[in-house]
Amino acid sequence: MYKSILLMFAIVAAVSSHMEHYREECKNELNIPQENIDNYKNWKFENDDHAPCYIECIFRKIGLVTDGQFNVDAIAEKLSTEDKTADELKPDIESCIDNTITDSCKRIFKGFACFKENNLYRVKASAQNS
């Protein structure tokens, strides 16, 4: 169930030039210190008030979030691999979405954390392919 969100974060952690560009844009838009960005690259998001909106910003820029809502189809497609198709991933992704959370940054971050919990390998694999 957490696979999709983890894959999304793998995308966030990607070292590609696109990701670096998005990181810089989100850092500037949200006035996030470089030290925090360095922590995010190392999967350290704990106790950081900037992390939820940073993740929302990155996901929005890469098309995984639209109007504050997860784009489940895009996420599933991005995280699909030989062992699991996009259609097979959708229920896992959807199970991590908590639409009772009204703050979009917190909702996106919680979904990300949920998926990351059990699917970090998918996220990292996706990031390598971005």
Note the pLDDT tens digit of each residue in 70-103. 999 998 888 887 788 889 889 989 999 999 999 9
- Tally Cβ neighbours within 10 Å of residue 4: 35
Q: Are 108 and 118 in contact (CB under 8 A)?
A: no
Which residue, among 118, 74, 62, 55, has the nearest Cα to 92 in the 3D structure?
A: 118
Task: Give me the CATH number covering residue 25.
Answer: 1.10.238.20
Note the pLDDT tens digit of each residue in 95-127. 999 999 999 999 999 998 888 776 665 665 665
Reported pTM: 0.79
Range of the domain at 87: 3-128
Q: What total of structural domains would you count in the chain?
A: 1
